Amino acid sequence: MNWKYLILLTVVLFSCKKIDKLTNFYADFSQEITFFTGDEPGSTIDIWIFNILQDKDSLFKENHSDIYGTNKIALSEITLSSIDTMDISFNYIESVEVYMTANEMQEKKIAWLDKIPEDITKIVSLDFTDDDLKDYMKDKDYALNIRLISKGTDNIETTFDFSYTVYINSNFDD
Amino acid sequence: MKLNRKHIGLLGTIYTLVFLLVFSLGCKKNSNDNVTTFTIKVDSINHPDTIFFDSTMIIQFHGHIGPTDCYSFYKFEPSYVPDSLIITVLGKHEDKQGCAPGNINLEAKTLLISNLPKGTTKVVINQPVSSALIDSVYVR
């Protein structure tokens, strides 16, 4: 066996891993939302989140990258966490859909859960799309719309934390 | 294989059936064809004058949607540009027989807005014809 080739191959493989670590990163976002659940089962609770990536440039700079040189941005996790001091849990929600919007782009359904399991109390993980979201997130005005279908019969105030993590596959910033 | 009159007749019937099927599918009426959307005239909105940064702004809308139960609320279309939150409230009308008369209203339909920046944000409600309804909220 030619050891020179083996060493060269090992160096190349490790370099690829190193470059991969430098050009791929995760970014976490979260937003606390307080609202009244409403007492009409079947009604929609319509929540919009604006101004999400105001420090977009610094996020990418910290990761030696640039949003315009990004290959792909995709969701890797999306959750709702009950942070009520009262033990309200998620009994008032029938289903959840999350949409992403941006200027001159059609709204895109990015996450959902058709039925919140009865035994869930504190954290709900949503199903989500694997689609590339970079065209939306490049837009300075991109926004999220959370649509909850209520099944609550008591109008109570509640708070949850909406969190999501995106995986960013990027090129080196020059 | 030689085609006789019986085969030709059978083929003709099959072609006719396929043609009719394609034709009927092509002409199938889209169930959305009878639905039109429109901007609802908002009479007033309720919301707090001041909210804390990172809290959710709750806006309730009042206004008349239409004179029969074929009219209903469709959706909110909010957008944010620096210092202004611009909201269009859309209704829909289904063009069908037997619409029961009755005043259909927004009945304090609620929209929740999160993550407004600190300072004053103008709240602009688009109206169908007249000038927009304008209000503001202070985020501290």
Among residues A163, A165, A155, the alpha carbon closest in space to that of A45 is found at A155
Residue A9 lies in a domain: no
pLDDT tens figures, B26-56 = 444 445 679 999 999 999 999 999 999 888 9
Residues on chain A touching B85 (C-beta within 8 angstroms) = 50
Higher-scoring residue by pLDDT: A136, A83? A136
Amino acid B4: pLDDT = 67
Mean pLDDT of chain A: 83
Residue spans of alpha helices (H) in chain B: 5-26
pLDDT, residue B28, reads 45
Contacts of B111 in chain A (CB under 8 A): 46, 48
Contacts of B54 in chain A (CB under 8 A): 32
Domain count across chain A? 1
Question: At A107, which CATH number?
Answer: 2.60.120
Percent of chain A predicted with pLDDT > 70: 83
**pLDDT score recorded for residue A39:** 81
Spatial separation of the C-alpha atoms in residues A33 and B54, rounded to whole Å: 8
pTM (two decimals): 0.78
Give the residues of chain B that fall short of pLDDT 50.
Answer: 22-30
Distance to chain B for A65, nearest Cα, Å: 26
Give the integer Cα–Cα distance in Å for A147 and A41: 14
Report whether pLDDT(A122) > 70.
yes
In this predicted model, what pLDDT tens digit does every residue of A83-96 receive, in sequence order?
876 666 788 889 99
Least confident piece of the model among A11-25, A70-84, A112-126, B29-43? A11-25
Mutate which: A30, A34, A35, A50, vs B, most B CBs within 10 A: A50
Contact between chains at B76 and A46 (C-beta distance less than 8 A): yes
Question: pLDDT at residue A58 above 70?
Answer: yes
CB contact under 8 A, B81 and A35: no
Q: Is A143 in Cβ contact with B85 (below 8 Å)?
A: no
What tens digit of pLDDT does each residue of B50-61 get? Answer: 999 888 999 999
Reported as a pLDDT band with limits 50, 70 and 90, residue A52 is confident
In a domain? residue A15:
no
The nearest CA of chain B is from the CA of A44 a distance in Å of 9
Q: Tell me, yes or no, whether A12 lies in a domain.
A: no
Q: Which of A34, A38, A141 sits opposite B55 (nearest CB)?
A: A34
Q: Name the residue in chain B with its Cα closest to that of A50.
A: B115
Partner-chain contact A48 B56, CB within 8 Å:
no
CB-based contact A48 B116, cutoff 8 Å: no
Chain-chain contact of A38 with B110 (C-beta, under 8 angstroms)? yes
- Parent domain of A77: 24-170
Question: Chain A residues within 8 A (CB-CB) of chain B?
Answer: 31-36, 38, 45-52, 54, 141, 143
pLDDT of residue A64: 76
pLDDT at A102 over 60: yes
A52 vs B contacts (CB less than 8 Å): 115
Residue A48 identity: W
A64 closest CA partner among A15, A29, A22, A21: A22
What is the C-alpha to C-alpha distance for residues A148 and A41, in angstroms, rounded to an integer?
A: 11
- Give the containing element (helix H, strand E) for A167: strand A157-170
- Per-residue model confidence (pLDDT) at position A22: 55
On whether residue A17 sits in a domain, the answer given is: no
Helix (H) or strand (E) holding A15: helix A3-23
Kindly provide the b/e burial profile for residues B34-47, where b requires at least 16 CB atoms within 10 angstroms of the residue's own CB. eeeeeebbbeebeb
β-strand partners of B35:
B94
